Structure 1
Amino acid sequence: MAGRVPSVCPASHRGSLPHSAPGPETGPAPLRLQDLAAVRYEDGQHQGLPVVLGTGGFGRVELVRGRGQLFALKRIRKEHVVRRRQQEHVCTEKRVLERSRCPFIVGLFGTFRDSQDVYMLLEFCPGGELWAKLREVRCFEEEVAVFCSACVVEALDYLHGNGIVYRDLKPENLMLDKQGYIKLVDFGFAKELERGEKTYSFCGTPEYLAPEILRHEGHDFAVDFWMMGILIFEMLVGRPPFHSAEPQKIYSKILDGVFSFPAYVSEAACSLVSKLCRLRPGQRLGNTSTGIRGIRKHRWFGSVKWKRLALRQVDAPTLALMKQGPPYANFKHVSEDWPPGEEEFSGWDQDF
């Protein structure tokens, strides 16, 4: 699959940083930045170099060890955040992750700052990005897509119940934990909303943008259900339904709302995606009177035991996609170049 146009937000283009995570406290004394040591490659041409799990517009995610446990340390350049006016996005991510206690959302263990960077210490998800697995196999078997989508339903139910709209659903922002379960990561575009309130930011990933975002008419929780429809299509087909090398062409296709399914996609999957990707938010499954229950009850999810899934008692079919080996086996090598950053003392990061 070709790479996609990166996520966009009002003042910048923004790439994804993978994360990882379980949540609550790890012991009597919180971990400190100086307690963390870089994990290094054990063999091959990169032997001895620190493991970088991913890079993005503002920084990178490094594999670290502290008190015998592995973590993903997200390091964000403060000067880049200020230059692109993304302070509120970074602070929202920290706030949302601190509040979240959900097995389908990456956990946050602590935050730190120094003169150049802010840091988020996240649960390490050794299965890597769902995006990478999708590229390896081109498209998922229906059983895998159902399982991944069901995990996303659980995460969205939790977020929406806590007044948070996610706004950047895509395979790059879904990580696989050691049991093969999906965890949502990267909450830079999340928004805290009251019921009935709308927000007007233009942000997200072009292929996944809901029509109401493109029309600048205000959007709410319904955008996450649109994006879920796009995600299911991409998992089953290997590409999103609206795609082009040029964002403007993607936007035109989204506003037209016309797309077709390959013949091998099941009738149940076509039905669900069509109901999630309705142009009018009020008619979208998940955003009607039945709420997210309407999604759970759709026949495409007929095999899902929702209570067992919530308790993580279901055998994950995604395990078959995961490579065995060192902890970084499911991550491609990323360049370790990390030039010194400029110091930044404006104080926007005082809560880190």
Structure 2
Amino acid sequence: MGAVCCRDSSIDFTEEVRLAHFDLLRCVGKGAFGKVRIVQHKANKQNYALKYINKEKCIRMKAIDNIIQERRILEEIKFPLICNLRYAFQDDENMFMVLDLMLGGDLRFHVDRKGSLSEEVIRLWAAEIIVSLHYLHSKRFVHRDIKPDNVLLDSQGHAHLTDFNIAVRIKPGKKLTSVAGSLAYMAPEILQRMGYTFSVDWWSTGVLLYEMLFGQRPFRAKSNDELARLILQKPITFPDKPVMGGPVSDACKEVLLGLCERNIHKRLGFGESNYRKLINHRWFEGINWDQVARKEIKPLFVPDAKHSNFDATHELEELLMEDTPLRVNNRSKNPKPLSTEMQKIENEFTNYDHTRTALSNDNQLTDIDPPPLTTPSLVAAICIIVPPQVMPRKVTGANYLPVPLLVVDPPWYPPTPRWTLSLPPSPAVFTTRGETPVP
């Protein structure tokens, strides 16, 4: 589905980029701070992913600093295996980031559909994530939220990192102390609150690969406290039963254990010597790492081009439940006085055009806390009659229970649920595969 914003003949493409420069196509995603839809640039006919964040909602969630920081970080990084920023701009209501479009869906979508995938398929994805992290860390950025939801496949099946919402730059000799990330993928040193650096991304990568290989995470519990205790203490074990993706080799298991090593000085990937041990490990024998970074190795898994690799519910929500659907709005010529928060957005969420804009000052990139969460109450249910061919999964049964988001102190960042219905002002959150959103 698409919507034509305005006539091409009325647009001056030499002016600063704005929403009118794009045709709005289908809605394909929703995160904690905004929505994602496919757009096409009217001049070059290139398709992109448009991430847009409502300013008022951002202010209510106390997430202004996170969004501005994400936009600044994306301006600083350019890598073939990262969803790169192409444009950024704002109107009176929203902030917009235009990113590389990945039509293959995220790894969460595929592991939910298949249960697990073969070791050979995952080996290339692991290599691609590894070189992406090495690039990020070389720029002194730590991602802090590596998980299947934040790894996107392109149409050929290459894995790309995305969602730098809580990423930060670490100054030499400094450590981070904020409790940030998704608890199930969070490294022990974050929970210990004794300071951490790049090591946390390697632990999360190990948990992600374990989940892709075995269809479950290495640590599972019924409460956040119990899950945190297991992350801190429980040895990594492997399922006895065969997995759907086939047998998992001892070499692969060695990599998983090395990434999920609690002693950060021995953790594979962390530090130059451990990074060399990781890329020279026997599981990666025969891998040409330069070819990995250039996306020259053909993936064994190619997303189905004939079917959508996104949940159809995102577009249904946009059609049926959105009070203010996205549309082109010209900036006010006589704006009202702005609040302090709105003025901050106006001043700091600056326009960006990858064809003409120079890099920003990296000294502006600092450690900031993740935004606090609010607790939605589960007060209503909606029945929508939908043709079965557009429903991705049932929303019934023991593994698909509606649950409210929880809030604890300190605030933890929730993983993106696979099914979300925003029911203003009290959103109901539905999770799949037995995953309660973890605060």
Q: Do both share a fold (TM > 0.5)?
A: yes
Of 191, 194, 198, the residue aligned with 2:175 is 198
Distance 1:316 1:30, change over 3 A: farther
1:338 counterpart = 2:319: no
> Corresponding residue for 1:298?
281
Indicate which of 23, 46, 49 corresponds to 1:72: 49
Please state if 1:38 is matched with 2:24: yes
The answer to whether 1:286 aligns with 2:269 is yes
Map of 2:419 onto structure 1 = none
**RMSD across aligned C-alpha pairs, in angstroms?**
1.9
Report the CA distance between 1:115 and its aligned residue.
2.1
**In structure 2, distance between residues paired with 1:272 and 1:181:** 20
Contact 1:31 1:66 in 2 (8 A): no
Paired residue for 1:177, among 154, 159, 183? 154
| Shift in Å, 1:58 | 1.9
Higher mean C-alpha displacement, 88-97 vs 78-87: 78-87
Provide the residue aligned with 2:331 in structure 1: none
Deviation string 1:126-168 (CA, Å, 9 cap, x unpaired) is 1111111111111110011111111101110110000100110
Preserved CA contact (<8 Å) 1:61 1:73: yes
| Counterpart contact for 1:148–1:182, Cα < 8 Å | yes
In 2, the alpha carbon distance for the partners of 1:71 and 1:190 equals: 22
Which of 109, 117, 126 in structure 1 is aligned with 2:94?
A: 117
Task: State which structure, 1 or 2, has the greater radius of gyration over its C-alpha atoms.
Answer: 2
Shift of 1:28: 7.1
Query: CA 1:29–1:293 in structure 2 vs 1: closer, same or farther (change >3 Å)?
Result: farther
Equivalent position SS for 1:318: coil
Is residue 344 of structure 2 the alignment partner of residue 348 of structure 1?
A: yes
Aligned residue runs from structure 1 range 44-63, under 5 A: 51-63=26-38
1:69-113 Cα deviation digits (max 9, x unpaired): 111110112222222222221112111111111001101111111
**1:86–1:93 CA distance, 2 compared to 1 (3 A):** same
Q: Is the 8 A contact 1:160 1:221 kept in 2?
A: yes
Distance 1:297 1:339 in 2: 53
CA distance in 2, matches of 1:304, 1:294: 14
Pick which of 284-293 and 190-199 moved more.
284-293
Residue 81 of structure 1 is matched in structure 2 by 58
Unaligned runs of 5+ in 1: 1-26, 40-50
Match of 2:330 in 1: none
Taking the TM superposition and a 5 Å limit, the aligned residue runs for 1:257-336 are 257-263=234-240, 264-288=247-271, 290-319=273-302, 322-325=303-306, 329-333=308-312, 334=314, 335-336=317-318
Give the direction of change, closer, same or farther, for the CA distance of 1:266–1:55 in structure 2 (3 Å limit): same
Indicate the residue corresponding to 2:186 in structure 1: 209
CA distance in 2, matches of 1:287, 1:57: 29
> Against the structure 1 CA distance between its residues 88 and 291, is the aligned structure 2 distance closer, same or farther, given a 3 Å change threshold?
farther
Counting aligned pairs with the same residue, the percent is 32
- In the other structure, the counterpart of 1:22 is none
Distance in 2, matches of 1:93 and 1:182, equals 20
Equivalent pairs, count? 310
Give the counterpart letter for 2:210 in structure 1.
Answer: F
Structure 2: where are the runs of 5+ without partners?
1-12, 241-246, 326-335, 350-439
Give the deviation of 1:36 after TM superposition: 1.1
Q: Deviations over 1:2-28 (max 9, x none)?
A: xxxxxxxxxxxxxxxxxxxxxxxxx97
Give the whole-Å Cα distance in 2 for the aligned partners of 1:191 and 1:206: 18
2:127 maps to which residue?
150
| AA at the equivalent of 1:325 | K
Q: CA deviation at 1:202?
A: 0.7
TM-score (norm: length of structure 1): 0.83
Which residues of 2 match residues 227-238 of structure 1 at below 5 A?
227-238=204-215
CA distance in 2, matches of 1:56, 1:144: 27
Q: 1:132 and 1:116 mapped to 2: Cα distance?
A: 30
Shift of 1:116: 2.0
Question: In the aligned structure 1, how far is the partner of 2:182 from the partner of 2:157?
Answer: 25
The match for 1:14 is none
Question: What CA deviation, in whole Å up to 9, does each residue of 1:15-70 have, x standing for no partner?
Answer: xxxxxxxxxxxx9776421111111xxxxxxxxxxx21111222210111113111
Q: TM-score, normalised by structure 2?
A: 0.67
What is the rounded CA distance, in whole Å, between the counterparts of 1:133 and 1:324 in structure 2? Answer: 14
Q: Distance in 2 between matches of 1:28 and 1:297?
A: 49
Partner of 1:12: none
Q: How far is 1:340 from its partner? A: 3.5
Any idea what SS the aligned residue of 2:273 has?
coil
Following TM superposition, by how much is the alpha carbon of 1:259 offset from its aligned partner in structure 2, in angstroms? 2.5
Structure 1, residues 271-317: CA drift from partner, whole Å, max 9, x if none?
A: 11111111122221122551422211111111322122122211111
CA contact (8 A) 1:74 1:122 kept: yes
Write the distance in 2 (CA, Å) between the matches of 1:134 and 1:29: 43
Structure 1 contact 166–224 (Cα < 8 Å) conserved: yes
Q: Distance in 2 between matches of 1:265 and 1:287?
A: 24
